[in-house]
Structure 1
Amino acid sequence: MNAIKNKLILALFVSIFQFGNAQNISVDEGYTPEYLVNDVLINSTCANVFNITVSGGNFATGEKSYGFFDGVGTSFPFQNGIILSTGKINNAPGPNSYLSDDGGSMGWNGDNDLNTALGLSNSFNATILEFDFIPLGNKISFDYIFSSEQYLTNPSANQCNFTDGFAFLLKEASSTTYQNLAVVPGTNTPVKVNTVRGSGTICPPANAAYFDAFNDINHPTNYNGQTKVLTAESDVTPGETYHIKLVIADEGNYRYDSAIFLGGGSFNFTIDIGDDRLIANGNPLCQGENLVVDATQTGATAYQWFQNSIAIPGATNATYNITSAGDYLVEINYGPTCQTTGSIKIEYAEDLIINEDTFTLCDADTNQDGITLFDLDVIKNQLFTNLPTNYVVSFFETTTSTSALSSNYTNTIAYNHTIYARVINIQGCYTNYPIFLKVTTFDEIILDEEIGLCENDVLILNAGPGFSSYLWDTNPPQNSQQILIASAGTYHVTLTNANNCSKIKTFTIIASGIAIIEDIIINDFQENNTATIQISSSSVGDYEFSLDGINYQDSNVFSNLNAGEYIVYVQDKNGCGIVFEKFYILDYPKYFTPNGDGYNDTWFIDNLDKRNLENSIISIFDRYGKLLKQINGSGERWNGTFNETNLPSTDYWFEIKLTNEKIIKGHFSLKR
């Protein structure tokens, strides 16, 4: 009885295990690279593919990092295809119950082309599938899914900067420059963990429309997340030889494997015969419109056109004139066993009827040239208020223009300019609606004014004659040509001319008054003697400065001043008054000549007493430091003698101890 029970339990376990496995993908490492490319990925009777190679991890256990996968009976989007991984593909089947990495036991080289394409510096564990091909059509495409263990949820924000890299690198065989086809649709951004990612985790979402899911434990693959099915595609030149390199690698470390799943049979060589003309795309054919499509291909032996999967009788030329809606397909034969296709979908829409109108605007800028800025959204809201909500209004320069004008539009023809509103109905058909733009001008010259207002004074502000109306922003508003003011500030007047165009003139009234000199800061006994005139903070005005009352400067600093007496004049630029004050610059003579000619016979410091420094002590020394003479600042002088003996011509040193305790040292020359 126990034996029977044990067998039943074992049978039940095996049944459950097999049922569980049926929900997960399976992998097979036994196929050759040629089989994987020719019979799994491309699966075409006329694919001209050669030089097929694959490289990756060959583990000690005999396992590989590439091979075949089978998704039949699972929720995985692909029925089968090729898997390229940064680790063992035997880790790829679900459930998603453990971390897929190789524990550092196996490591191999990265790929320089991948590094260049993605800007990497440290890729390794690269798995590469590459081959040459000669396309018959002018376009290739294939489907893929990128899966990765690096699609983590919330363990650490550090994960946001880690991502393995992969690329689908295409080039002409004679070229050295690759184009990466594994990019976010409509961009040049490579698809990676941090460029295609969903929301709800520590890391911010990125291009979430292309992200499928963060996987739970029951997922048919053992990866934490994956993209939706994406399509890599490129235009090619029929008959040219191309090289494609499909490569994936770890970046930074061996942990957290990633994989590319290539959809079986999805590598297609097709003919691009034009964009679909669909209502949803905004480009359906309008009633009565024909479309000639051209599928001409070099080397083709026969053509057959189909509409809605039914062969069109007699439609066996390379071109076909479409006159009705439908799904069109052309089969192109290159021989008894080689065929390519091209397809296009066509929809038609209804026509509509609309009227005309005019929009007038004043020239709003300073250059009154009949050119101004129109807000086309305002025009649209005023002229098309009764259109159905599913109609789209865009503006164009001409009836044949294809580039819509921006809502902020500047007319290019002065004064009178016609543009066109293209009103598109829900089917995508349109009528060109002429919009007459008229620009009226404000030709009068308006200049803003800045005026000073002296203390206790009043001003009359005059906006000038010749306008149909005036409006001052005073409280209360005034509508006269001129107003009387008694306080500083900014005053605006809106002037309207005979064209009913307006401009604003601004009067900036600046409070002004006579200056109060608070201090004169003197920096003397220097190579460059200066005087800085400090005006009291209570002074209100715009001031200029002068040392002669004639030549004025804006700077309050005077430089390169010689020793002597000065008068500084401070004048308000707005005519509110002038003040002046005397000051003295001190310095020492650089030499003297005690030769008895009555000129420069003594050495002294002039004007010390004018600076209230008459009690200063000046000590004179010879070159050896011997004190020769002391004089005060009240006018005493040295005649070049010591003990009534003339001293020789040479340099002598001095030290000035000013009354304010400042000490100045230097030397001068005695010349005989």
Structure 2
Amino acid sequence: MKKLISLFILVTSYISLGQNIQVDSQTYTPQQLIEDILIDSNCIEGVVVTNVIGGNFNTSDQSYGYFNANGSTFPFSSGVVLSTGRLQNVPGPNTTLSDDDATDWFGDLDLEQILNESNTYNATIIEFEFIAVADKISFRYIFASEEYQENNTNTCEYSDLFGFLIRPQNETQYTNIALVPNTNTPVKVTTVHPGIPGGCDAINETYFGSWNSSTAPINFNGQTAILTATADVIPNEVYHVKLVIADEQNYRYDSAVFLEAGSFRLTTDLGPARLLSTNNPICENEQYQLDATEANAQTYKWFKDGLELSSEINSILNITDSGTYNVEVTLDNNCISYGEVVLEFSSNPVVFDTALNTCDINQDQLTVYNLLNATQEITNNDSTIQITGFFSSEINAEQINNPISNPDYFENTLANQTIYARVENTYGCYAIAEIELQATYNALSLDSFIVCDDDMFDGITEFNLNNLRLEIANSVPDGAVISFYVNIDDVYTENPITTSSYENITPYNQELFVKITVNNQCYAITTVALQVLNRPLLEDDITNENSILYCLNTYPETITLHAGIVNDTPTNYSYTWSNGENTSSIDINEVGNYSVIVTAANGCTSTRFILVEASNTATIVDVIIEELSDNNTITVMASGEGDYEYALDNGGFQDNSDFNYVSAGFHIVKVRDKKGCGITVQEVAIFGFPKFFTPNGDTINDIWELKGVNAFTNQGIIVSIFNRYGKLLKSISYNTGGWDGTLRGFELPSDDYWFIAKFPDGKEYRGHFALKR
């Protein structure tokens, strides 16, 4: 074995700060850092450093070098460190930001390609070649970064990059072995961290080491746990390794990777760690072995928690308890291959055998069970364990073979059959519980539950299940729970009707299933018939929109109200009217609201409401007349209980009580009740004078006379007629007739003539008219 150089001369590049790590960029050449510090083994041959790249700070400082724990709490006592900043900024305390840059310090394309990233800067690289005498090598490392920021969402988004790239010397394709254990995920800030409040969930937290306080021995905000990089190699072949770390996107927030001294060595694979934290511990009573077999091995030496197991000298080690297990395999060339694995055990679930009891409808002891109902008894409400399957035999449960596919609807094939439940904890460790299937039979016959139909008259209505429960409760033990189901499958799958009101699906007659449970055990399963009875079918109610009319002017005559039976004989029903009568029809002569309750022979009732409203002939209170104008008008003022319409003379009836352009003379106004209670009439007169007359003996307009005047109307009027010169020609009144156009027997000529009408109240009206021959 080559002698490890142990030079601890204080030089300007050697930094020592109390309980912080020390770094040295000058004492060791890159060849010495790899061959004598990282590897330090004669079993790794042909070690040659072929390329080194780092930051050019124009000083003696570098971006890589040697480190020593210096009595601090740092997990590695010494080793090699590569950084994306100055080496002198690597030691603690963690009180400043490592945030360095240098001239022409570029990134690395190989790292970008294998990690599928881009835009790297400040790459520190050491490349070397080696030859191994065994088929596996490994080394241990810790990744630290300023981009680990506690409770900051930047941790979820940003990370510098690093890789341990290896390939056979004669090939070009690298493999990255800086991976999250048992995955193909590269180790980065964003792939290994605890949960960040408001940012992201934890990811691979088992492999996170710590957030670093201001007193940490290194000057980085956080770091991973100790990780192991492992590679399969072909013995005696030359391999090329590229250790590389780089900033991503920019030079800000530096990172470093620490490689443990002497950890690059031959490795024997003992399999993955079996840990509680990674959900893969060894289960209680599980037979577990470690196999360290190497083809060219001479001896095997086993250790547990640092203590040699002197009696264990074979390649196979049986494991019975938790611990850290190591093996040293001495090969035929006296090289030693090292293996290490951490193993933890989990206890198996604690379970309880139980029995499921359900009801047997036909007494054959074969029925349907919901095996899931046994969960609470089996697990004793332990939320950390769960039933993962039910099986018909214990061996099937142990081997997870042929699980019962429908545990919520399992039909037993044997009386008192035993079913086996496999119960697992979060780690997959299991125990088997037995379920004995028991059946109970109690005969229970229930009377039909009868209700009357609703207003739809279709045989579909609402049933009050609470009332039905009260009826059934008299036939079952006290305290029984009564549940209703639409069909038998719902009974077995525990899908009860959850509402207190149920509307039947099948008109008039439907069957519901009833389950009686006493002390959480099935007492009986039976059926109950839901029956809908017909109600009397009646005509529609008579309301404001179609009320019945009673004419007050016909009192004390009566009208007849009918109960309104449809499609049946009235004598098949009994009646109760709101006025106390009990016949199918009643005679009334009073207005108001009437109702009748009609009862069928089955006891179901229907109610009909009838509104009787009043109407009457009109009373003409006044007739307002506007006369002696070009537009004579009549307005009729009427009162009464009815709804009225109006007509003048022989004209049609109208809703409007006003009449326009009425001719002078006598007219008949009519007021009719729209609901048929009768017509009220009154004669009215409009006083007026003809505009002309033609006294030529043809009996048409031969006389100029007053309009709207008789012995009862306007009889006090005196009209005097004058020629254009003011000479009085004739005076007439209501009983003297008209003027025939003569004066003392002589015909007067065609001309305009004037008149003065004097009314009894002293008013006068003056006008003129034409005489045409």
TM-score range, shorter chain: 0.5 to 0.7
- The alpha carbon displacement at 1:247 in A equals 1.6
What is residue 99 of structure 1 aligned with on the other side? 97
Match of 1:380 among 375, 393, 397: 375
CA deviation vs aligned residue, 1:123-146 (integer Å, no higher than 9, x gap): 122112344455555654433222
Match of 2:140 among 119, 143, 155: 143
- The alpha carbon displacement at 1:41 in A equals 1.9
Do structure 1's residue 332 and structure 2's residue 291 form an aligned pair?
no
CA deviation vs aligned residue, 1:415-442 (integer Å, no higher than 9, x gap): 6597644568999997644557899xxx
Q: SS in structure 2 opposite 1:380?
A: helix
Match of 2:227 among 215, 227, 231: 231
- Map 1:440-479 → 2, pairs under 5 A: 458-460=458-460, 476-477=501-502
Instruction: Indicate conservation of the 8 Å contact 1:47/1:133, yes or no.
Output: yes
Assess, with a 3 A threshold, how the Cα gap between structure 1 residues 482 and 386 changes in structure 2: closer, same or farther.
Answer: closer
Assess, with a 3 A threshold, how the Cα gap between structure 1 residues 331 and 455 changes in structure 2: closer, same or farther.
Answer: same
Instruction: Indicate conservation of the 8 Å contact 2:275/2:281, yes or no.
Output: yes
- Of stretches 193-202 and 343-352 in structure 1, the one that deviates more from structure 2 is 343-352
Match of 1:70 among 68, 71, 88: 68
Aligned-partner Cα distance in 2 for 1:73–1:130 = 30
- The alpha carbon displacement at 1:85 in A equals 1.1
Instruction: Indicate conservation of the 8 Å contact 2:396/2:403, yes or no.
Output: no
Q: SS in structure 1 opposite 2:374?
A: helix
Assess, with a 3 A threshold, how the Cα gap between structure 1 residues 344 and 232 changes in structure 2: closer, same or farther.
Answer: closer
- The alpha carbon displacement at 1:26 in A equals 2.4
What is residue 295 of structure 2 aligned with on the other side? 298
Aligned-partner Cα distance in 2 for 1:464–1:433 = 31
What is residue 165 of structure 1 aligned with on the other side? 161
Aligned-partner Cα distance in 2 for 1:353–1:384 = 7
Aligned-partner Cα distance in 1 for 2:22–2:490 = 83
Assess, with a 3 A threshold, how the Cα gap between structure 1 residues 222 and 290 changes in structure 2: closer, same or farther.
Answer: closer
Aligned-partner Cα distance in 1 for 2:123–2:173 = 20
- Map 1:628-639 → 2, pairs under 5 A: none
* Matched residue type, 1:64: Q
Q: SS in structure 1 opposite 2:297?
A: coil
Do structure 1's residue 38 and structure 2's residue 35 form an aligned pair?
yes
- The alpha carbon displacement at 1:70 in A equals 1.5
Q: SS in structure 2 opposite 1:232?
A: strand
- The alpha carbon displacement at 1:184 in A equals 4.0
What is residue 20 of structure 2 aligned with on the other side? 23
TM-score (norm. length: structure 2): 0.46
Match of 1:115 among 104, 112, 123: 112
TM-score (norm. length: structure 1): 0.52
Q: SS in structure 2 opposite 1:115?
A: helix
Match of 1:269 among 266, 273, 285: 266
- The alpha carbon displacement at 1:258 in A equals 1.5
- The alpha carbon displacement at 1:68 in A equals 1.0
Relative contact order higher in (CA < 8 Å, ≥ 6 apart): 1
Aligned-partner Cα distance in 1 for 2:457–2:22 = 94
What is residue 85 of structure 1 aligned with on the other side? 83
Match of 2:59 among 61, 64, 67: 61
Q: SS in structure 2 opposite 1:50?
A: strand
Q: SS in structure 2 opposite 1:383?
A: helix
- The alpha carbon displacement at 1:283 in A equals 2.6
Q: SS in structure 2 opposite 1:399?
A: helix
Aligned-partner Cα distance in 1 for 2:485–2:62 = 90
Aligned-pair identity (%): 33
CA deviation vs aligned residue, 1:34-54 (integer Å, no higher than 9, x gap): 322232223334224634334
Aligned-partner Cα distance in 1 for 2:388–2:259 = 42
Aligned-partner Cα distance in 2 for 1:466–1:195 = 54
Q: SS in structure 1 opposite 2:395?
A: coil
Q: CA RMSD in A?
A: 5.9
Structure 1's unaligned 5+ residue stretches are 1-16, 363-369, 440-452, 486-491, 504-672
- The alpha carbon displacement at 1:339 in A equals 1.4
What is residue 646 of structure 1 aligned with on the other side? none
Q: SS in structure 2 opposite 1:301?
A: strand
Assess, with a 3 A threshold, how the Cα gap between structure 1 residues 406 and 304 changes in structure 2: closer, same or farther.
Answer: same
- The alpha carbon displacement at 1:106 in A equals 1.7
- The alpha carbon displacement at 1:101 in A equals 3.1
CA deviation vs aligned residue, 1:581-636 (integer Å, no higher than 9, x gap): xxxxxxxxxxxxxxxxxxxxxxxxxxxxxxxxxxxxxxxxxxxxxxxxxxxxxxxx
Aligned-partner Cα distance in 1 for 2:502–2:98 = 78
Q: SS in structure 1 opposite 2:140?
A: strand
What is residue 282 of structure 2 aligned with on the other side? 283
Assess, with a 3 A threshold, how the Cα gap between structure 1 residues 226 and 434 changes in structure 2: closer, same or farther.
Answer: same
Instruction: Indicate conservation of the 8 Å contact 1:415/1:438, yes or no.
Output: no
- The alpha carbon displacement at 1:122 in A equals 0.8
- Map 1:342-361 → 2, pairs under 5 A: 342=339, 359=356
